[in-house]
C-alpha cells in the first residue's frame, strides 16, 4: 500500500529502514528535496541508490516507496509527480511543488474525464498522477476531500493530509514496513493529530 517518510532536516532513515520499506513496497522509490529555490525529485531508485543520494541532501526531504495498487508496475509511475498540468512521468526534474500519495483514490477516472481536455495528463496513468494535475488546477485544498495520505511538497512549505504517525524522528504514512525490520529496532510512537489544516504548514527556514 506504499509508504511515505517525511524526514526533517538532519533526520535520515538508515539502510535497514530503507531496505524494509523496499521489501514491503518493491515497485520503486522516489525522493524530493529543495534546492536553488525549487523542488527537485528523483525516482525509480533502489535502496542503495537512495541511501547514497539522501546522504548528500540537506534540509527536509520526502521519500516514497511504491506498491502499484493503481497503474502499471513501471518506474515512470513512482512518486512524486510534479504539480503541473501534465504531471510528467520523467524520473528526475524540478518544479515548484510535487505530490506524494499513500492509499487509493477510486474516483480518479471520473475526475479525469471531467477535467478540461488541455489540462489532462495522458499516456501512463495512475490516481496519484491525475491528482497532481488536479492540484495544479484546483489547489492543494482539494486533497482534503480525497482519500489516503498525501504530501504536498512545495518550495517554501510542506502540507500533510490524512492520518500520520511518528517513527524514529520522522512522520510516516503507515508502519507496515516494520515487519521487515530486525527486532532490535526502536518502538514506535503514535501521532494522534490529523494533519492537513493550515497549522501543519512547515515553512522553510
pLDDT tier at 68 (50, 70, 90 boundaries)? confident
- Tell me the domains of the chain and their CATH numbers: 3-200 (3.60.20.10)
Select the more confidently predicted residue: 191 or 201.
201
Q: Give percent of the chain above pLDDT 90.
A: 82
Q: Is the pTM of this model over 0.85?
A: yes
Cell of 82: 510534479
Q: Which of 41, 14, 163, 23 is nearest to 102 (CA)?
A: 163
Q: Which of 91, 88, 11 is nearest to 49 (CA)?
A: 91
Least confident range of 18-22, 69-73, 80-84, 165-169: 69-73
Compute the average pLDDT of residues 121-137: 96
Select the more confidently predicted residue: 90 or 187.
90
Compute the average pLDDT of residues 164-176: 98
Compute the average pLDDT of residues 171-188: 78
Per-residue pLDDT of 4-60, as tens digits, reads: 999 999 999 999 999 999 999 999 999 999 999 999 999 999 999 999 999 999 999
pLDDT tier at 2 (50, 70, 90 boundaries)? very high
pLDDT of 159 above 70: yes
pLDDT of 186 above 60: no
- Which residues neighbour 89 within 8 Å (Cβ) at sequence distance 6 or greater? 76, 77, 81, 123, 124, 129
Amino acid at each position: 500500500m506504499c509508504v511515505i517518510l517525511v524526514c526533517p532536516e538532519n533526520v535520515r532513515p538508515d539502510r535497514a529502514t530503507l531496505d524494509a520499506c523496499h521489501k514491503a513496497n518493491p515497485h520503486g522509490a522516489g525522493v524530493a528535496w529543495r534546492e536553488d529555490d525549487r523542488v527537485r525529485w528523483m525516482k525509480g531508485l533502489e535502496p542503495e541508490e537512495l541511501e547514497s543520494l539522501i546522504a548528500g541532501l540537506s534540509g527536509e526531504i520526502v521519500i516514497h516507496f511504491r506498491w502499484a495498487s493503481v497503474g502499471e508496475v513501471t518506474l515512470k509511475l513512482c512518486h512524486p509527480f510534479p504539480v503541473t498540468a501534465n504531471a510528467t512521468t520523467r524520473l528526475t526534474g524540478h518544479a515548484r511543488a510535487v505530490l506524494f500519495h499513500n492509499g487509493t483514490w477510486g474516483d480518479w477516472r471520473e475526475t479525469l474525464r471531467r477535467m478540461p481536455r488541455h489540462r489532462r495528463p495522458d499516456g501512463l496513468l495512475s490516481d496519484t498522477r491525475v491528482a497532481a494535475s488536479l492540484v495544479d488546477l484546483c489547489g492543494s485544498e482539494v486533497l482534503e476531500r480525497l482519500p489516503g495520505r498525501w504530501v504536498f511538497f512545495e518550495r517554501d512549505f510542506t502540507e500533510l493530509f490524512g492520518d500520520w504517525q511518528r517513527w524514529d524522528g520522522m512522520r510516516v504514512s503507515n508502519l507496515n514496513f516494520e515487519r521487515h525490520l530486525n527486532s532490535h529496532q526502536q518502538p514506535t510512537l503514535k501521532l494522534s493529530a490529523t494533519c492537513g489544516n493550515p497549522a501543519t504548514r512547515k515553512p522553510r527556514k
